[in-house]
């Protein structure tokens, strides 16, 4: 939940995303890019979070922000998840964990008493100049989307 005091610049990256498109951070037309990293398609928490972003999508657009979900799932899985939930935004596939590693979201987690390596639910806001302006790590799904939207609405 720390605000980045010096707004570090994020290195450009490209990745495959739904709709047969390629995401590239550099030159994004929106004023803000919201990247939300989540563990896995079709799981309860990830479904709830994605629906919350879907429901608030018009409000995000009003702040000139574009939303992208990212997980290690395949494009095929993402296409099904996106269609099932009616998501109006694209999902980025990162099976090699390239983007996950760039943002430092791969963590050891406890699952049913076992240590497993997985994606720590996290959200990042990047401005049009490619600077990280806000990040949330270890996100709890409840009220998170409202918090992200509130931050964007507070920006000049």
In order along its 156 residues, the chain shows pLDDT tens digits of: 344 345 688 999 999 999 999 999 987 877 999 999 999 999 999 999 999 999 999 999 999 999 999 999 999 999 999 999 999 999 999 999 999 999 999 998 877 888 888 899 999 999 988 999 999 999 999 999 999 999 999 998
Known active-site residue 100: no
Q: By the 8 A CB rule, do 124 and 35 touch?
A: yes
Query: Which of these is catalytic: 34, 46, 139, 145?
Result: 46
Provide the pLDDT for residue 151: 97
From CA 141, how far away is CA 45, in angstroms rounded? Answer: 7
Q: By the 8 A CB rule, do 82 and 18 touch?
A: yes
Provide the pLDDT for residue 28: 82
Q: State whether residue 90 is helix, strand or coil.
A: strand
Q: By the 8 A CB rule, do 47 and 148 touch?
A: no
pTM of the model: 0.92
Q: State whether residue 150 is helix, strand or coil.
A: helix
The chain-wide mean pLDDT, for the chain, equals: 92
Provide the pLDDT for residue 9: 86
């Amino acid at each position: 939940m720390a605000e980045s005091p010096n707004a570090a610049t994020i290195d450009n990256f490209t990745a495959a995303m739904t709709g047969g498109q390629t995401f590239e951070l550099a030159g994004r037309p929106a004023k803000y890019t919201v990247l939300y990293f989540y563990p896995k398609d079709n799981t309860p928490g990830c479904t709830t979070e994605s629906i919350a972003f879907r429901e608030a999508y018009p409000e995000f657009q009003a702040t000139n922000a574009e939303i992208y979900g990212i997980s290690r799932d395949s494009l095929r899985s993402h296409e099904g998840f996106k269609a099932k939930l009616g998501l109006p935004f694209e999902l980025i596939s990162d099976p090699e964990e390239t983007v996950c590693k760039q943002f430092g979201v791969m963590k050891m987690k406890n699952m049913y008493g076992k240590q497993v390596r997985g994606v720590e639910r996290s959200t990042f806001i990047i401005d049009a100049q490619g600077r990280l302006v806000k990040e949330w790590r270890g996100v709890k799904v409840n009220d998170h989307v409202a918090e992200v939207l509130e931050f964007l609405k507070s920006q000049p």
